[in-house]
A and B are shown apart, each in its own frame.
Chain A
Amino acid sequence: MANQALLIVGASIAGLRTAESARRAGYKGPITFVGAETHRPYNRPPLSKGLLRTHGQGHEDVAFPLRSGLDGVDWVLGAPAVALDRAARIVRDANGRDHQYDALVIATGLSPKPLPIPDHGLGGIRVLRTLEDAVGLREVLTPGTRVVILGSGFIGCEIAATAAHAGAEVSIVTQSRVPLERALGPILGAELLRRHEAHGVRFYCGESLFGVVGDTNVERVILTGGVVLECDVLVVAVGSDPQTSWLQESGLDITDGVLVDSGLRAITTEDDLDRRVVAVGDVARYVNPLFDSIPRRVEHWNLPTETGKRAGQILAVQLAGGDADALAATPFAPLPSFWSDQYDANLLAFGMTYLADRSELVAGTPDTECVTEYFRGENLVGVCGIGMRSAVQSYRSRFVVPVA
């Protein structure tokens, strides 16, 4: 079995956790990472927070430490995958190199959605996903810079807080009524609106972009309601798409990410299982029995680790000729957890708050600290707190897989 090869496409946290887990489960064969970026795996959350405001920080400040079990793995970086041939068990990268595998890990994550209207090739229009995106954005978040952020999700709000802190003049344009409306509902959304406005961030809610104007760089943006905003930097933070273009001809079901079973193993368009291929992290779409039986992609930070740990273990068993199916059949029910720092608001949440049809304030007051519960019908689907860590933590035991 020593010659079995584990190929991980995506030098990401999800890929890294998969590799570590496979090693822990006894896999001793070669491991190759093929990554689109030029870096080894790093932690992305600081890119919209600490790293975005701290000049001089770079990869070494956010890189994941590599455990000794991963000494000797092969890193092929700056090499985006372009095609998967499952019959030949080969992944081709953009440099024309072919990578053979016995087991393949799809960990290619997300790419930010582009500006939803024509950009006319103007400069000054940015997204935030990679380390280079963050370092480039940091350079232009200077006092007096007019920054318009399209989108009021976590990334948009965190960039706004960081930019306001840097002295930029910040506006957020969002189709929602309050920031983070979909993720956190009206109660916490209204409170975050208040906190952002208290720091000078202007909101244009219920609005979208009609056009961008400029000579070589963006100079003004025009909203559908007719408002015109002077703009030096336009940040597009309207969500992300799974990076699956390289899987177009693979025969895998890539309708909104890679559809996988409870063992993270890829399902084909013919509804067959490919036991040699797993998908982990943001790109994987799977059922979480904590909530319902609908496969979903979930973009919360702890899930690359949860999916990677399970997938690595299952692949190690599979490559050793063991009963991976039995392991894969055990319930996979990770509790999503997420957090956000905006000014002095430290949010911590568990569950799938955006599945809720209502939220309820159950402790504290939003303008200091509080706990909010999220319900779909009668069922608790999430909890979020500003501060009040212990109270929020205590909810974890309330999310359990219903007995069939």
Chain B
Amino acid sequence: MIKIAVDRDKCQNYAQCVLEAPDVFRLNDDEKLEYTGDAEDDRLADLESAADVCPMQAILITRA
């Protein structure tokens, strides 16, 4: 499993991650980021891409 964590102090809801991994990250109706806390191992490349493109570098991806 892959663990996903977003640092809410850093996140500014720019939603760049949503484009990379829409199955994990999304904007809610208030345009705030929501995400799923874990994902299957085969999602690693997309999740690393999502972490890479975050302007605030707020996303931490770890392999559990």
Contact = CB atoms under 8 A, between A and B. Distances in A.
B16 A302 contact: yes
B52 interface: yes
A46 B10 CA distance: 10
A299 to B, nearest CB: 14
Contact of A301 (B13, B15, B55): B55
A168 B52 CA distance: 34
A219 interface: no
Nearest to B29: A390
A348 interface: yes
A393 interface: yes
Contact of B52 (A305, A339, A387, A389): A305
A67 B44 CA distance: 12
Contacts of B27: 389-390, 393
A17 B52 contact: yes
Contact of B14 (A50, A305, A389, A396): A389
Contact of B53 (A46, A65, A302, A388): A302
B55 to A, nearest CB: 6
Determine which residue in B45, B48, B52 has the highest number of CB atoms from chain A within 10 A of its CB, and name it.
B52
Contact of B12 (A67, A346, A393, A396): A346
A305 B53 contact: yes
A130 interface: no
Interface centre among A24, A65, A396 (most CB of B within 10 A): A65
A50 B56 CA distance: 10
B31 A390 contact: yes
Interface size class of B (residues with CB under 8 A): 10 to 19
Contacts of B60: 65
Contact of A389 (B13, B45, B57): B13
B14 A387 contact: no
A387 B57 CA distance: 20
Interface in B10-64: 10, 12-16, 18-19, 27, 31, 45, 48, 52-53, 55-57, 60
A24 B46 CA distance: 13
B14 A339 contact: yes
Contacts of B56: 45-46
Given A339-B14, A396-B19, A64 B57 contact: yes
Contact of B55 (A339, A390, A393): A339
B31 A389 contact: yes
Interface in A331-380: 337, 339, 341, 346, 348
Interface string A84-100: 00000000000000000
Contacts of B10: 50
Contacts of A388: 31
Contacts of B55: 45, 301-302, 339
Nearest to B16: A337
A184 B16 CA distance: 20
A65 B18 CA distance: 21
Interface string A371-404: 0000000000000000111100100100000000
A164 to B, nearest CB: 19
B50 to A, nearest CB: 12
Contacts of B31: 387-390
Contacts of B52: 17, 305
A348 B14 contact: yes
A64 B60 CA distance: 11
Interface of B: 10, 12-16, 18-19, 27, 31, 45, 48, 52-53, 55-57, 60
17 contacts: A24-B45, A43-B57, A45-B55, A50-B10, A62-B57, A305-B52, A305-B53, A339-B55, A346-B12, A346-B13, A348-B14, A389-B13, A389-B15, A389-B31, A390-B15, A393-B19, A393-B27
Interface of A: 17, 24, 43, 45-46, 50, 62, 64-65, 67, 301-302, 305, 337, 339, 341, 346, 348, 387-390, 393, 396
Given A17-B52, A50-B10, A387-B31, 10 more contacts: A24-B45, A45-B55, A45-B56, A67-B48, A305-B53, A346-B12, A388-B31, A389-B27, A389-B31, A390-B31
**Minimum-distance CB pairs A-B, first 3:** A389-B31, A43-B57, A305-B52
